[in-house]
Structure 1
C-alpha cells in the first residue's frame, strides 16, 4: 500500500511540477533580505504576506507573530541564546497549522524567509531577485538558503491535498524572520509556544541528512597602544604586535582542542581569525588594533561556557605576561553565539525519515554533520523536540553569488517531505 501511495504522489508531482516550481519562483522574486545581519532590520514583510495568502488558500489556520525585542531579551536571559538590539519594524513570523487527527503525531517544518543581501549585483549572471531556470537549475537569491526548503515543505502539504490523501496528523509550518541575524525568529517561535512531536529544519543539506552541527561563538578583541612616528618606534607601543601575541596564544589553544576532541559526524573544533584591523600608515606606530574570530565547537563534548572561559583565560594570560597589556588589558566582546546541535542516530524521527527518503529516492540517505550552525540547535536543545535537518540546496550556495538549486532536487524534497508526513505522523 505504501508503494502505491508513493507512486500516486510521484504521478501527482509530475502532473503539477510547473505549478510547484512557480510558487518557489514567486517567493524568490520577493526581496526579503536582512539588513546588517538583522541589526538594522529586514525586508521580510512582503514575503510573509505572500505566504499568508498561500497558507489560507491551502486551508491552514494562520497566526502572525510580530517580532519583539523584549521576547528575545527574555529568551537570552532564560537560555543564553539571543541577539539583542535588532530593528523589528514590520518584521513578523508566520505559523501555519494544518489540522488533522489529534491522536496522531504532529510534525513541524521550520524555515526562514529572510535571505542575505546579494552583494554586488553586477557580479551575478542574472539579477538575484529575477529567478531563472538554466539547464535544470533555478538561480536566485534564497534558492538554497532557504526558500527552496521552506516552499518544498508547503508544497508537500499541497501535494498530499492534490493527490487526495488525508493528513494523518497535524502539520505545522513556521516561517521565521531574522535567522541570518542569529536565529531570533525561531527563538520567538519557541517562546510563543510552537511545538510538535518532531521538527524538520529545511536548510539545504546536499541531499544528506544532517544530525549534528557545531556550536559557535564570535569574539572581538580590542587592543590599545601608544602612537608615534615609526622612526621613534621605541617611544611607542604597537597595538598590532600586541594583538599578534594574543593570536599566537589562541592558535595554541586551538591546537589543544584538535588533539583532545573528536566527533563521529563533525570536523574538529576550530578557531578562525577572520578580521584584523589596526593602524593608519606604515610610518606610524599604531595605537589601536582589533581582531574578530569565530570559534566552532563540538556539541555535548564542549560547551559555550567552556569556550568563553578558555578564550578569556588565554587572553588574560597574554595580558599578564606583557607589562603594557597588564595595565591596559584587551577588551573582549562576544557579539554572536549559538549552541551546537546533535540528534540521536536511532531516534524514531530519524528512522522515519530514512524510510521516507528510501521510498521516494530508491536509495539510502547518508547521515552527516554540518560545520555551519542553524536553527536546529534551538528546536533540539531549547525546545527539547526531536529535530532533523534536510532540505534542497547546498551549503556552498548559501550567501553565494549566483545562488542556485537544481529543480529536481527541490521537487524530490517535496516528495520526501510528503512521504515523511505520512510515515511519521501515522
Structure 2
C-alpha cells in the first residue's frame, strides 16, 4: 500500500511525464557517438541548470587516471572530454545513493534503413523512436525527473545522492570509471539500462580485439603473383566460431550454467584492400568476445591469441603471422549480490506499484555496473525501460515503461530517505 506522501509522489511523476519525454527527445537530437558527445552533454547541462541541480564536469583525463588498473586502453584522445555529474548533500550522513546513465550511443549507420533520420525523435503507437532513445536516454530522463518529482512532492532529500551522466559506456567503460577515480562514489547504484523492469542479476566479461593480416599486393593480371589478405582473413572465421564454442563449453558458475550459449563472439568490422583491380595487401578484422564471470581479461586475451596462432599454423600458407591488438573493452564479468538492502527495497517498490514481485534478468552483455563492482566494490543493479532494436535500425522505447521507471525510481528515492532516517535514529 502506498502512503499519502507516496501517492503524491506518483501524481508528480505523472505531471512530469511531458518533461521526461522532452528531455529524452532533446538528448536524442544530440547524436552522441564516440568523440561527438558534446551536444548531449550541453543539453544535460542545461536541464541540470533548469532543475536547479548542481552540475560538475568530471574529466576523462584527470591526473592519475591513465594508470588506473581497470581503465581500458583507448586509441582516441581524452583531452577535454568529460562526464557530467550532479551531487546533492555530499557531506550529509546516511547511505549514498548513485544513479548512473550513459549519454553515448553507437553509430546509426546505415541511416538510409531508418524510417526517419535517427537523430530526429518521433512517436508512434506508444513508442518513442531515435538512436539512443532506449539505450539509454529515456532512462537518464527518468532518473533525473524522479529526483524532481520527489522535490515537487515536498519530500526532503537529506541523504547523499549523486546523478552521473557519463560517456564511453559503449566502448570502454572509462567514463564511469573516471567518476569513481575522482571520488564520485557511493553505497548503492541504480542504472536504467533498457532491459525492462527486472532486477539485473549479472553480466558477462567483454573483450574487444583486432587482427591485422598482411598479404602481397599484385596486379590482377596474375593474382598468383600476390597473396590476397582478404581471402586469408576469411579463412580465420571458422576458428573464431570454434573459439566461441570452446568458451561456452567451459564449466560455468551459477547462474550462467542455466543459459544455452551466453558468451557470444561477434565479428563487427572488416576492412581490406584499396583497389578493385589489385590483390589486397592488408585486411583488418575487429571483434568482440564474451567470457564467463571469474575469467580474467588476461586469460581471454591469451585464448584469442592462441586461437589465431593455431589457425595460422593450420593454414600453413607461408603468410606472416597476423598481428593481434586489444583496444576498448576488457571488462570482467560478475554476478550481482541480490540479497542487499538496496535490491530488496527496489523489489518492494516494484511490487507495490505493479502488484507482483519483479523478475530477474541475466545479461549476456556488459554495462557500467562493472566499474562499480570491480573498482569500487559497490553493489547495485540495472532497472530500466523496455526498448526494442537497441544498436539496430529504428531503435525505440516504450513510453509507458518510461513512466513506470520514473515512478519506481521516485518511490525508491523517498523510501531510501526513510531508510536513511531510520538508520540515523538507530545509531
TM bin, normalised by shorter chain, reads 0.7 to 0.9
So what's the TM-score if we normalise by structure 1? 0.85
Contact residue 168 and residue 422 of structure 1 kept, 8 A: no
Determine whether 1:256 maps to 2:249: no
For structure 1, the residue ranges without an aligned partner over 5 or more in a row are none
Which of 298, 308, 320 is matched with 1:315 structurally? 308
In structure 2, the CA distance between the partners of 1:317 and 1:3, relative to structure 1 (3 Å rule), is same
Determine whether 1:46 maps to 2:42: yes
Determine whether 1:164 maps to 2:154: yes
Shift of residue 357, structure 1, vs aligned partner:
1.1
Q: Distance in 2 between matches of 1:181 and 1:70?
A: 21
Please list the CA deviations of residues 120-145 of structure 1 after superposition, one character each: whole Å capped at 9, or x if unmatched.
Answer: 55544444444343332223333212
Shift of residue 4, structure 1, vs aligned partner:
3.9
Determine whether 1:306 maps to 2:296: no
Task: Please name the residue that 1:365 is paired with.
Answer: 358
Please list the CA deviations of residues 340-368 of structure 1 after superposition, one character each: whole Å capped at 9, or x if unmatched.
Answer: 24211222222221111111222221111
Contact residue 98 and residue 163 of structure 2 kept, 8 A: yes
Task: Please name the residue that 1:14 is paired with.
Answer: 14
Which of 231, 246, 268 is matched with 1:274 structurally? 268
Contact residue 82 and residue 187 of structure 1 kept, 8 A: no
Contact residue 55 and residue 62 of structure 1 kept, 8 A: no
Q: Distance in 1 between matches of 2:40 and 2:16?
A: 28
Shift of residue 200, structure 1, vs aligned partner:
0.8
Contact residue 49 and residue 55 of structure 2 kept, 8 A: no
Q: Distance in 2 between matches of 1:181 and 1:136?
A: 30
Shift of residue 255, structure 1, vs aligned partner:
2.1
Aligned residues: 413
Contact residue 135 and residue 193 of structure 2 kept, 8 A: yes
Q: Distance in 1 between matches of 2:283 and 2:23?
A: 49
Please list the CA deviations of residues 65-111 of structure 1 after superposition, one character each: whole Å capped at 9, or x if unmatched.
Answer: 23327655223xx225343433544x332221222893322210001
In structure 2, the CA distance between the partners of 1:283 and 1:63, relative to structure 1 (3 Å rule), is closer
Give the match's secondary structure for 2:165. Answer: strand
Give the match's secondary structure for 2:84. Answer: strand
Task: Please name the residue that 1:398 is paired with.
Answer: 390
Please list the CA deviations of residues 21-46 of structure 1 after superposition, one character each: whole Å capped at 9, or x if unmatched.
Answer: 33434x33641412xx33x7754442
Give the match's secondary structure for 1:50. Answer: helix
In structure 2, the CA distance between the partners of 1:108 and 1:268, relative to structure 1 (3 Å rule), is same
Task: Please name the residue that 1:149 is paired with.
Answer: 139
**RMSD of the TM alignment (CA)?**
3.0
In structure 2, the CA distance between the partners of 1:373 and 1:325, relative to structure 1 (3 Å rule), is farther
Please list the CA deviations of residues 247-271 of structure 1 after superposition, one character each: whole Å capped at 9, or x if unmatched.
Answer: 3333333222222244525643232
Contact residue 125 and residue 402 of structure 1 kept, 8 A: yes
Contact residue 213 and residue 369 of structure 1 kept, 8 A: yes
In structure 2, the CA distance between the partners of 1:124 and 1:69, relative to structure 1 (3 Å rule), is farther
